[in-house]
Each structure stands twice: as C-alpha cells, then as structure tokens.
Structure 1
Amino acid sequence: MRRPKTLGLLVAVLLGASVLAACGSGDTVSGGKVKVVFWHGQNDAAKKTIDGLIADFNRTHPNIEVDGNLGGVLADQMTTKVTAALAAGSYPDVAYIFGSDLANIARSPKVLDLTDTVHANGFGWDDFWPAEQQAASVDGRVRGMPALVDDLGIVYNKKLFDAAGIGYPNDSWSWDDFRTAARKLTDAGSGTFGTGWPGAGAEDTVWRLWPMLWQQGGDILNPDHSATAFDSPQGRTALSLVHDMAAVDKSVFVDSDPSSQRMNQLFNDGKMGMLVAGPWALPDIVDAKIDYGVTGLPGFGGNHTTISGADDWVLFDNGSARSKATIEFITWLTDPAQDIRWTQGVDNLPIRRASLKEPGYQDFVKRVAGIQVFVDNLPGARARPAVAAYPKVSAAVGQALVGSLLGQTDPATALHKAAQDGDTALKGP
C-alpha cells in the first residue's frame, strides 16, 4: 500500500509516447532474444534495487531481454497509464498494479490468467502469505503475482509515553485502551496529538477502518459480493469510535494531505504519540531519531486482525513467446533468493515465508528495528475484496469517514449513505 510520489504530468507526457512505442509487437524479438517490457514504476532505492535484479536476470537468461523502466509514471499512477495503453493496443508485458485496482485491470482479456502457473508442482503458491493470495485472485482465478505485502500496526513514541506516565502499547491492547492513551497524550498547548488519521477521503483513509470491522466479526461485503455489509452494528461501532476520538476527544490529527505526509511528519517531529502505519514508515522514523516501539493493532474482544495492502505484478498477453518469457522472469523475480534482495534493498516485507530463511534476513530485521512485528502479523492479515466496484465502494466510505473525522456528520447516518452508494456501485455495469 506504499504510495510513492508521482512524476509530474509533463514528464509523463514526454515519456509516454516513447514508452508506448517501445512495447509494440514489433519488438517481440531483439537480437534473437525474446523481449519483455517491464513497467515497474519504482524510483530511488527501489529503482536501483530492481535495476540490479533485472541486470542479473538478463545476464543469466541469454534468450530473454527484460527492458525495465518506470512506464512513464510512478506506481500510484500506473493503473491509469496501463488502462490507456490497453485501449491504445500497445501495452507492456508486466506492470506494477495496486491490489485495490487489480479487479478493474483484470477485466481486460489481455491480462494473463496465472492460476495454472501458480498451482503447478514446485511453484510454491502456498509459500506466499494468505493476504497476497487473496489480493491476487479475482473470481477464483489468479490474475496477478505478488509484488509487495505490508500490514498495519502501531508505531509509538516512547518519550511521549514516558512523559505522560502511560505504559507502552502491547498486543493485548483494546481500542478503548488506544483511545484513552491518545486522549492523555494530546496536548493542545504544545501541539501534540495522540494519533492521526488520513482525512483526504482516499483509500489511505478507508483501509484503516476495515480491521476494526473484521475484529468484531463484521465484513465489507456480503459473501457473494453482491452488496455491502459494513452498515452493521460492527461498522457503526468502528466509525463511532473514529468520530469520538477525532471530533469529541480532539486527540486525532486529521491529515487532509492526500499523501498523509503531514501526519507522518508530526510523528517524526516528536509531536504525535501513536501512528497507525506499516513498515514503510520506519526508515523515516529511524532517520528522525525518534525512540520508537512497534506493536500490532489494538483489538475488539481479543481479536487483533490487521489488513494487508498487497500489490501485484500484472502480466499481459503480447503473444505466446513473450507471455512465456514474462512468466519465467516474474517467477524468478519472486523466488526467495531474489525476494530477499528486494526486501533488503527497499525495506519491504518479504513476500514469501521461505524468504525468512534466506541469508541476510536476520541482518535485515536487526537493521530495521520493529519490522519483525509486521512480519509476524502477516499470517493472519486480510486483504480487501478483489472486486471491480471496490474503488467506488471505498470512495463512498471515504466520504463517511471524512465527515465523521471532522464532526460534520453522524456516523450511523454517514455509514448508511455510504452503504447505499456502495450497493449502487456493486449493481452497476
């Protein structure tokens, strides 16, 4: 669920034509090699790491040449770029797609069905975390290969807890414990908040609510995904808690920045006691020299289920030769030996259980304090439903959350309206 910064529109326009031209069917074979066009959408350390992996693959696979590039945009704009490329009939062989967008992309007949590939003897599909398998599957078919996995937990500032005389959060905390601590940590005079919540109404706002629903036995959609299920006692309890913390206790910094950077910066400046975040937040917290700890999410009734925003490599059909070569490359890239290099290079969580046994894993968890907590939570993490209407359902819930965070709407009323809008989206074309 990590959201990198986007490239400017001008850069996307300048690169777009050349990138699309580079992935035409005329480049299927280059110098006797099958060419694979790989839009990875990564920058900075991630780009450096993946460029190194691509170079190693090309060196050890003489019949395949992987052409790795941004695709003209970074990952958070990739779905829009790929959709346009599919419409134009000139698209890559593989691209990085957010898990919440997979079902929409998978409606294209050009997206490869990987079900037989991942269930073949020796592939090791069960080695991937359950949330990754869920996020990569649409209507019972595997339509993406896991590219990134994460989950939510609590990162807390030890200094602020010590000053307030509060015991550190732990894996037995309830949401009532969390609310009480957030209230005690808040100090309007010094500009210190107990916690924060993204308030732009986008998916970063919404997905944090779902664990609170699941922990009570509720769900987002009904079993056959034909209607919403969150307008329930469990949903009202969850949204009311968010409303009360933000609008009544005033212990929540509501971040209207779409990237949630202001909220994260407050924590890194020592002005926030607890941050609901994933492993992506830790490197910046380390750089800020915050004395921090990490624990799992608070729970309801002893249930501490968390959520994973797993993303995927999505493969496209550019003919049998390129499809076969692309599957070979992505299978190699997601092997534990390569996964641990990806993990170490960008401080991601490992996408496979076997990667935890690879040389270098223990050095990784020692270098990034607290990241082991996120790894430990992966076996029980859940993914959002992989349905094409999910973005519209999320948008409706996002509006309910923003209104509740700002104290502008009654939670029960807002949730009911969101469910009506979500039902309309699920019944739409």
Structure 2
Amino acid sequence: MPTPRRTSARRRRSRALRGIVLGTTLAVTTALLTGCSNPGATVLDTEAPVTITMWSGQSDQAEKLLQRLVAEFEEAHPNVTIDMSAGSSSTEELLQKLAASFAGHDSPDVSYTFGSWASQLERSGRTLDLRDVVSDPDVRWDEFSSAARATAQPTGGKVIGFPAVVDNISLLYNRTVFDRAGVPYPTADWTWDDFRRAAERLTDADSHTYGYGYSVSGSEETTWQLWPHLWQNGGAILSEDGERSAFDSTAGVRAVAFLRGMAVDDRSVYLDQTDTKAAQLFASDRIGMITSGPWQLSALKTAKTSYGVVRLPGTDGDHQTVSGPDLWTVFDNDDVNRAHWATEFTRWLTAAEQDERFNVAVGNLPLRSSETSSPAFRKQVAALPGLDVMQANSANAEQARPTVPGYNGLSEAVGNGVARVLQGEGTPTEALRQATVAADKALRQG
C-alpha cells in the first residue's frame, strides 16, 4: 500500500484511539525531569560534529527511501550524523516511547508523530518552537495546507514541527456498480441528496450490493467520516475555547440523522464492523461508493477495480472535507547544535524537491501545493487515477481535526453513539446528548 505508516493503510484512521499514552502521562513524565542529563552545546557552532537521532515510524518501502535521503543530507553536511531507526515496532507505540524518553533524557531530535498527538506533545514542554523558522519566506510555509499548518501549531502558539503526511477523504465510486444499475456517475457538484438517491438506486438485496459503505466499529474511522457532514451543516466539534464539545447541536443532529436515514430507512449502507470489509467489497464491485483517501488507490489498482474519484458531495455549495495530517516533530534536547541540525534536516526533508522523492514516490499526496504540476506527481497520477482529484480536494480541508488532549475520548464517545444509531438503536438526539457527557469528561481530564 502506498503509505509510509507502519500500520495497515485502511485502519490508519483508527490510530487516534490506539495512542495509549494520554496527555496526563506526558505531563507526569515531564514532571520527573531533573537536571541529570548531560549538558549540551549552548553556543551554536554549525561546523562542530553533531549526531541527531530520528525515529521514522515508517514501513519498509518508505524507510528505504528515507534512508537514501538521510545519506544524501549527511553527504552534503559531513559534520552531521543522523542516527535513524523506526523508534518502535509500530507507529502507534511511538507516543508511549516518547513519554518514556522524556523521563529518561534520551529523546529523539526528530520523530514521526500522529497529528492527533500534537497538543499532548506541545504540553510536554519538550518540543522546539519553530515559529521563527517557518516565518522565513524561503520555507514557503503557506504551500502546506491550512489543516497541516494548524496541526503543526496545535494551540496557536508553538510550531512544533513540519507536516509529514497530508491527506483528505473524497468520494470514490465504482463504475461497474453504477453501470450495472444504470445510474449516472457522481459529479463535483453533487449534493448529499444526490448522493442518497444514488445510493438507494445502487442497492440491490438480491445480489447483496450496497450503495455506500460506512464504519460502525466506533473507532476514529466512524467519527472522522461524520465531521464533514457536521461542518457542512455549520456545526463545530469543539466550543471556541476548545474546552467543551459542541457537536450536540442542530447541525450535529442533522448530520447523524442523514446517515441514519440511509442506513435504517433506505437500507442502502453496508455497516462495516471491521473498518476493512467495506473497502474490500467496494474493490470487488459489491459497494457503489465509499468515502476514503489516497491510501485506498493502490489496492484498487491491484484489484483492477474500475473506479472514479470526485470531491465530497456538498451542502448549499459547501464541500468541506476532513484531513488528518501527521508531523515530523522536533524536540529540544538542550543542545543548540542538535536543535539547529534537526530543524535544518526537517526543513530540507519537507521541501518540494525531497518530498517528490518520498511522499509522492510512495503514492501519498504531495505535502506542498507547488508539487502538483511536477513530473513526479503527474507520473503517480497516471499510475493511481484520482490522486490529482484528492490533491485538489485538499483545498476543501478548511478546518483542522482537533488535536486537544481528550480528543481520543471525544472521538470514542461520538463513534460509539453514531454506530448505535446507524444500527437502529436510539435517536440522533439521544446519541449526541449521551456522547457529550463522555466527551466533556474526556476533555476535562485531558
């Protein structure tokens, strides 16, 4: 699969709930820090020999590409050694490993981190602040999507790193299923009403074909698929101060009620308990539409599925989507030389020239808008049709998914509530009211 994560591609959206260590753990480990670490350089010397440590969190294919880039940087800067390793046996375990490293005074200088951890990491007090770095016009910070920039600056204060992976969800449709049912293909101007009517026409009980597939595992996969519906209806996930949930609103009820109407009334939705089965059924011409991202395209190519991609249907012309950017987070080890070179390497790695040989090469979306016309990206678009549509859809990722401590608990509460409603248990109003109680408790505990 064309994703650098060490987790399975389809379950990557469940990751927020599998980062076991919460902000409280990071706070505890930070409190344990004393002055027992070895003193580092206090005056910058860019010629001095320096070793920086990097935890990559990558799969085998991406790890090899990254190692070549590391070697290239080291060759250009002979005084710099980059000690790169995976960091842990799986990407999900990196947060726990980072917490332990804070207590043991052996933190990496750079680590791949899930975007959902950003606020927790900033709160640890162990990240560098790159605001001055990204304000340099040569960095071209505005080439990263707004969602990616917001994730890297989780509380509006520190910029704790550079975007590592960007994505969004778009509408994928199976041409074979549409042709079989005689339904016109989706267009970029579709409304959700258009979508619902098509899903009902595509559904055929005799052949066990469904119009749409949706997660009811209660994981982040369930939750983040809801957020575009909420936002397009004018709703919000959190209150303006970020301290309370705000999804229990008219917009939230409308969003969940729409999905319930499809699942319960129309019976046009395959309810996926596994977060994997719907994608498989789509690939094998048993589901007409799924909402997914670039990680899906390689599997569809392998399965020889005839498919198309458009942006999400909209509400009153609003086609917002959701994005879950990840980061290269840069940490402070009380050594100005290490901090300088960790920052320089991360800045270099996420420049367009290197990103085309890393993210683009493995089939991810390019990090920067300037890469969309590059030969490297056009080559990948030819290999993975629809990748360009997903790239353009990044402009519809207008809001960042929250990274506040407690989001994991909020997501679980919402996901479980939505899953129950889509399976015919309770009403949207009841589900969101109950989810609010659990979500607010999670936000208070952090």
TM over 0.5: yes
Q: 2:53 aligns with which of 6, 29, 37?
A: 37
**Cα separation, 2, equivalents of 1:28 and 1:198:** 49
Call closer, same or farther: CA 1:118–1:214 in 2, change over 3 Å. same
Shift, 1:366, TM fit: 2.1
Q: 2:155 aligns with which of 139, 158, 161?
A: 139
**Cα separation, 1, equivalents of 2:237 and 2:71:** 42
- The Cα offsets for residues 196-221 of structure 1, whole Å up to 9 and x where unpaired, read as 11222121211111111111111111
Shift, 1:97, TM fit: 1.2
CA contact 1:336–1:358 (8 Å) conserved in 2 = no
Runs of 5+ unmatched residues, structure 1: 7-23
Shift, 1:71, TM fit: 0.7
**Cα separation, 2, equivalents of 1:273 and 1:98:** 31
- The Cα offsets for residues 308-344 of structure 1, whole Å up to 9 and x where unpaired, read as 1111111111222211110011000001100111133
Runs of 5+ unmatched residues, structure 2: 9-35, 42-47
| Amino acid in the other structure paired with 1:304 | H
Shift, 1:404, TM fit: 1.4
The equivalent of 2:365 in structure 1 is 349
Q: 2:410 aligns with which of 386, 393, 415?
A: 393
| Amino acid in the other structure paired with 1:402 | A
The equivalent of 1:168 in structure 2 is 185
The equivalent of 1:125 in structure 2 is 141
Q: 1:321 aligns with which of 325, 333, 337?
A: 337
CA contact 2:4–2:62 (8 Å) conserved in 1 = no
Matched, 1:425 2:436: no
Q: TM-score, normalising length from structure 2?
A: 0.87
Q: Which runs of 4 or more aligned residues in structure 1 lie more than 6 Å from their structure 2 counterparts after TM superposition?
A: 24-29
Call closer, same or farther: CA 1:214–1:404 in 2, change over 3 Å. same
Matched, 1:376 2:392: yes
The equivalent of 2:279 in structure 1 is 264
CA contact 2:361–2:376 (8 Å) conserved in 1 = no
Alignment of 1:244-255 (within 5 A): 244-255=261-272
Matched, 1:210 2:227: yes
The equivalent of 2:76 in structure 1 is 60
| Amino acid in the other structure paired with 1:312 | L
- The Cα offsets for residues 227-266 of structure 1, whole Å up to 9 and x where unpaired, read as 2211111100111112222233222222222xx2222111
**Cα separation, 1, equivalents of 2:40 and 2:304:** 50
CA contact 2:361–2:380 (8 Å) conserved in 1 = no
Identify the range of structure 1 (71-80 vs 60-69) with the bigger mean alpha-carbon deviation. 71-80
| Amino acid in the other structure paired with 2:67 | D
Identify the range of structure 1 (407-416 vs 418-427) with the bigger mean alpha-carbon deviation. 418-427
Identify the range of structure 1 (186-195 vs 298-307) with the bigger mean alpha-carbon deviation. 186-195
The equivalent of 2:23 in structure 1 is none
Shift, 1:49, TM fit: 1.7
Identify the range of structure 1 (407-416 vs 47-56) with the bigger mean alpha-carbon deviation. 47-56
What value does the CA root-mean-square deviation take over the aligned residues?
A: 2.2
Q: How many residues align?
A: 409
CA contact 1:39–1:69 (8 Å) conserved in 2 = yes
The equivalent of 2:7 in structure 1 is 5
Call closer, same or farther: CA 1:181–1:273 in 2, change over 3 Å. same
Identify the range of structure 1 (111-120 vs 150-159) with the bigger mean alpha-carbon deviation. 111-120
Call closer, same or farther: CA 1:51–1:428 in 2, change over 3 Å. same
Instruction: Give percent identity, aligned residues only.
Output: 40
Call closer, same or farther: CA 1:27–1:52 in 2, change over 3 Å. farther
| Amino acid in the other structure paired with 1:375 | Q
**Cα separation, 2, equivalents of 1:216 and 1:198:** 21
Q: TM-score, normalising length from structure 1?
A: 0.90
